Chain A
Amino acid sequence: SQQGEEDPQALSIQEGENATMNCSYKTSINNLQWYRQNSGRGLVHLILIRSNEREKHSGRLRVTLDTSKKSSSLLITASRAADTASYFCATGDTGRRALTFGSGTRLQVQP
């Protein structure tokens, strides 16, 4: 079963624009992570934010977490064609020591 739901399911933007993806989840979490998956490839870890953090930055990535609303957002600034991929949020369950993934946002960056 999927824990998180990403919104939108698909996003198409022009190179240089910002891309924002949202993730909502259902249960209490220890952390939330974002992954990128290029077509036909494995998952690449982008960023992890813990439940006691509200915002985190890594390069062109900015992640926010609102535990009261059980939601997170991923912002990619100044997008590039190479950012074209599917982006997944995953919530960490301390009890199971497992990640539960959402269904992903498919981002297309037009050159």
Chain B
Amino acid sequence: EAGVVQSPRYKIIEKKQPVAFWCNPISGHNTLYWYLQNLGQGPELLIRYENEEAVDDSQLPKDRFSAERLKGVDSTLKIQPAELGDSAVYLCASSLGADRWDEQFFGPGTRLTVL
């Protein structure tokens, strides 16, 4: 069974540029999460989707960050414009559903460097 797929694995951009990250969860997993991991820290939740609905986006900085999961499968996280402080690893995770939220499977992450 394929795991959570993320692309790109690495991205280097200049500040003020836009950037997008893509995630394909494990097949059949209805719940999808985006986490932000700063260097030397644990991941922090940005947004959680149940199917195509964003049910928890309280930690998403909505002035520059946006996310979508249009068909309830793949998801895209976008930053526009990027700032130096956005340099971090962006992790996507999925779980079977709301009742199995505590069993999360993580992708390899996208490492973003903003110059």
**In the complex, per-residue mask of A91-103: 1 if CB is within 8 Å of any chain B CB, else 0:** 0100011111111
Q: Chain A residues near B42 (CB, 8 Å)? A: 2, 4, 88, 90, 101-104
**Count of A-B contacts with CB under 8 A?**
62
Q: Chain A residues near B109 (CB, 8 Å)? A: 41-42
**In the complex, per-residue mask of A14-49: 1 if CB is within 8 Å of any chain B CB, else 0:** 000000000000000011010100001111110010
Interchain CB contact (< 8 A) of B43 among A31, A44, A97, A101? A101
In the bound assembly, the distance between CA atoms of A90 and B35 in angstroms comes to 13
Chain B residue at minimal CB-CB distance from A101 = B42
Interchain CB contact (< 8 A) of A43 among B31, B45, B103, B106? B106
In the bound assembly, the distance between CA atoms of A44 and B57 in angstroms comes to 24
A97 to B: closest C-beta gap in Å: 4
Residues of B within 8 Å of A, CB-based: how many?
A: 24
Chain A residue at minimal CB-CB distance from B31 = A97
Given contacts A97-B48, A104-B42, are A48 and B106 in contact (CB under 8 A)? no
In the bound assembly, the distance between CA atoms of A90 and B48 in angstroms comes to 16
In the bound assembly, the distance between CA atoms of A33 and B106 in angstroms comes to 14
In the bound assembly, the distance between CA atoms of A73 and B103 in angstroms comes to 20
Q: Decide if B40 is an interface residue (CB 8 Å cutoff).
A: yes
- Contact across chains for B48 and A42 when beta carbons are under 8 A apart: no
Given contacts A42-B109, A45-B104, are A98 and B41 in contact (CB under 8 A)? no
Q: A2-B42, A97-B101 are in contact. List 4 more A-B contacts (CB 8 A).
A: A43-B91, A43-B106, A48-B102, A101-B42
Q: Point out residues on B near A: beta carbons under 8 Å.
A: 4, 31, 33, 40-45, 48, 56, 91, 93, 98, 101-109, 111
Q: Can you identify 6 A-B contacts, CB atoms within 8 angstroms?
A: A2-B41, A33-B102, A44-B106, A45-B106, A92-B102, A97-B98
